[in-house]
Structure 1
Amino acid sequence: MKTNKEVTIYDIARKLKYSPSTISRALNNHSSISGKTIGIIKKTAREMGYRPNSIAASLRNNKSKTIGIMISRINRPFVSSLISGIEEKAREAGYNVIISQSNDKYDNEVFNAQTLYNSRISGLVVSLSMETRKLDHFSQFIKQGIPIVFVDRIPDKLKGYKVIIDNYAAGYKAAEHLIQQGCKRIAHFAGAQHRNVYRERKHGMLDALNDYNIAVNDDLIIDCQALSFEEGAEGMRRLMNLPQPPDGLFAANDTSAVSAILYAKKHGIDIPRDLAIIGFNDDPIASIVDPPLSTITHPAIEMGNICTERILQHITDADKKDSDAPEIITLPTELLMRASSLRHTNP
């Protein structure tokens, strides 16, 4: 099967009778070439179907105008919004993005890191997988001065740029809201506790209970490593079979919280009279489920914007070439009160 030959700068040079070096400078908007000539050359290049060889350029410069993204699951609303925020700022600056997902598997994350490193990315945005505990796969980026921004799920010990929300304050306000609605036995769907986000949400919740002199019952703390729909249903089954079931539930994400609502409706449990529920993230499903789910906002797009801005700042700022430089940016959250948690008691 015959294939069409790739158009090169030499083909453009022959057509316009310019030197290849002139063509190259014009395509890169070099100041030595007049605006009129640049316009002619770029117009001809488009008409001929010329495509710049970004791979070859990255090999020559040992970098590309590309930002790598390593996330857990692209189908999560928070993650897709985060990616949108990263890509938005990258595009404005003339950068591309490469997205890889780990599906919350450590081995996948290691493989993705090596692939992105080999692609000569200019910077990396990372939200760690649920399984990740070792961080050796990031050392190659640090040694080469490639900036890394950890977002949301961040490492505790590895220094660098980090963009997070105040998960402790969010967990506190979620529990406080349930307490103000009259709840006395508050359960929690807790994510993997080696991940900062879920550990801090739980910590905030427990401190709220202590501050309001409400006993902490370990039977009401359900370990949900993935906070999946299935874990939410199983967690509800365990809670509702207790001699004294809870009257409030704080789930560390909306997926497990929505699962809890559906389980309750199926088994005749009135929400919020029998069980007040609040989730986390403000996923689209939170406002669709019946009753609508109270939740905590997670400013994903803003977090993505900041991640890209930090990478671009690092690249252009000669005084910040140490990708191990510590910087933590913490964004606030908001409590969205909906029918799933609102009882007759006013907050």
Structure 2
Amino acid sequence: MKKYTEITIYDIAEKLNLATSTISRALKDHRSISEKTIKKVKKTAFEMGYQPNNLAASLRNKQTKTIGVLLPTVTQPFLSSLISGIEITAKKAGYTVMIMQSHDSYDEEVNLAQSLYNNRVSGIICSLAMETQDTSHFQIFINNNTPLVFVDRVPKNFNTYRVVIDNFSAGYKATKHLIDQGCKRIAHLSVGSEFGNLYSERKKGYLEALKDHNIDIDEQLIVRLTTVTYDEAEKGTNKLLDLKNPPDGIFTPGDILGVSALQCAKKRGIKVPEELAIIGFNNDPISEIIDPNLSTITHPAEKMGQAAAKIIIKNLKSLKKDDIKEITFLNTEVLVRESSKKK
């Protein structure tokens, strides 16, 4: 087998009997080199199979033109759409994307953040792991003027850019929709850590909607889950349906949880939505496949990814650094489907 040999500018220089500095300038269309020489150099480079070493050049300049993306997982439809928005925007601006998964582990997130820093990423976009409470491992990016944007799962207290929805308002809208459908005992599957603002804000919106409509808050109707999984939601739903006075409505802060609640109810012979109205969150594809279709809250994942990438790119191009970082809010809407249509 023929051994592969990387072609360098030295090989091109030797073939054309030109200085390596001339080859380098010609490949960059430098104005000091004639158009004829530029064409000849580029033609020879192509024929010889020359590939520019962009990584080496970027490391010399201490910038890789790579945006690091650190997420809990890439398997969730919401996060897949988020990645798509980031990649589309980054590519248009000439940046590549390096994606890493924390699998909701704090320790893994710490290690991966250090790895991204070691790889000299130009900027970083992160959605926090479920376990994360201490975000000091991101301070290294701030100290080195590397743009940092938290998206969706963001820390409450960290002076950097954030791209989020108004989770309080979204939780309020979901609960109010169930109230408008005539539900009087509305349950909520609460999720995970209260450190981040995502699930805790949706829960606050749920509670506020009940208060505003003079519905008593029954702690038995609030079941806390440890993970955002189908099995966990099934356990929580069964707990709710086993109550002496079970709920007539459930707000779940994720569509996989809503689908689990819906199927759990059907297994027990409970009619959805006649006896139990259910609304989810995210507008994942599964919400339209399940029967009956799941009502949900829109979550503009791709737009959030685009917004986060634009903030990174804008910062990389700007010489001025803002002391106070902006928060970008995107709108949500209630998508009413069969699972909650009592009226």
Quickly name the TM-score band, shorter chain normalised.
Answer: over 0.9
Q: Quick one: structure 1 residues 203 and 14, their matched pair in 2 at CA, closer, same or farther if it must change by over 3 Å?
A: same
Distance 2:301 2:290 in 1: 21
Alpha carbons 1:127, 1:151 under 8 Å: kept: yes
**% identity of equivalent residues:** 53
Partner-residue secondary structure (3-state), 2:338:
coil
Q: Quick one: structure 1 residues 280 and 44, their matched pair in 2 at CA, closer, same or farther if it must change by over 3 Å?
A: farther
Partner-residue secondary structure (3-state), 1:326:
coil
Distance 1:109 1:32 in 2: 48
Q: Deviations over 1:110-161 (max 9, x none)?
A: 1110111010110000100000111121111111100001101111111111
Distance 1:35 1:87 in 2: 35
Q: 1:46 Cα deviation (Å)? A: 3.3
Distance 1:285 1:52 in 2: 44
Gap regions ≥5 residues in structure 2: none
Structure 2 counterpart of 1:70: 70
Alpha carbons 2:155, 2:195 under 8 Å: kept: no
Partner-residue secondary structure (3-state), 2:85:
helix
Distance 2:240 2:35 in 1: 71
Distance 1:156 1:72 in 2: 18
Q: After the TM superposition, which residues 286-325 of structure 1 pair with which residues of structure 2 at under 5 Å, given as runs? A: 286-320=287-321, 325=324
Alpha carbons 1:250, 1:278 under 8 Å: kept: yes
Q: 1:26 Cα deviation (Å)? A: 3.2
Q: After the TM superposition, which residues 120-139 of structure 1 pair with which residues of structure 2 at under 5 Å, given as runs? A: 120-139=120-139
Q: 1:32 Cα deviation (Å)? A: 3.6
Q: 1:79 Cα deviation (Å)? A: 0.4
Q: Quick one: structure 1 residues 291 and 8, their matched pair in 2 at CA, closer, same or farther if it must change by over 3 Å?
A: same
Q: After the TM superposition, which residues 101-112 of structure 1 pair with which residues of structure 2 at under 5 Å, given as runs? A: 101-112=101-112
Alpha carbons 2:188, 2:251 under 8 Å: kept: yes
Q: Which amino acid aligns with 2:23?
A: I
Q: Which amino acid aligns with 2:227?
A: A
Q: 1:38 Cα deviation (Å)? A: 4.0
Q: Quick one: structure 1 residues 31 and 79, their matched pair in 2 at CA, closer, same or farther if it must change by over 3 Å?
A: farther
Structure 2 counterpart of 1:268: 269
Q: Quick one: structure 1 residues 14 and 140, their matched pair in 2 at CA, closer, same or farther if it must change by over 3 Å?
A: same
The reply to whether residue 167 of structure 1 matches residue 142 of structure 2 is no
The reply to whether residue 50 of structure 1 matches residue 50 of structure 2 is yes
Q: Quick one: structure 1 residues 32 and 218, their matched pair in 2 at CA, closer, same or farther if it must change by over 3 Å?
A: farther
Q: Quick one: structure 1 residues 88 and 35, their matched pair in 2 at CA, closer, same or farther if it must change by over 3 Å?
A: farther
The reply to whether residue 146 of structure 1 matches residue 146 of structure 2 is yes
Q: 1:36 Cα deviation (Å)? A: 5.5
Q: 1:40 Cα deviation (Å)? A: 4.3
Q: Quick one: structure 1 residues 258 and 13, their matched pair in 2 at CA, closer, same or farther if it must change by over 3 Å?
A: same
Q: Quick one: structure 1 residues 164 and 33, their matched pair in 2 at CA, closer, same or farther if it must change by over 3 Å?
A: farther
The reply to whether residue 333 of structure 1 matches residue 319 of structure 2 is no
Q: Deviations over 1:270-299 (max 9, x none)?
A: 110111000000000000000000000111
Partner-residue secondary structure (3-state), 1:187:
strand
Segments ≥4 residues shifted beyond 6 Å: none
Q: TM-score, normalised by structure 1?
A: 0.95
Alpha carbons 2:156, 2:195 under 8 Å: kept: no
Distance 1:260 1:35 in 2: 68
Gap regions ≥5 residues in structure 1: none
Q: Which amino acid aligns with 1:229?
A: Y
RMSD (Å) for aligned C-alpha atoms: 1.5
Distance 1:125 1:288 in 2: 31
Q: Which amino acid aligns with 1:122?
A: S
Q: 1:37 Cα deviation (Å)? A: 4.4
Distance 2:34 2:209 in 1: 66
The reply to whether residue 218 of structure 1 matches residue 219 of structure 2 is yes
Structure 1 counterpart of 2:260: 259
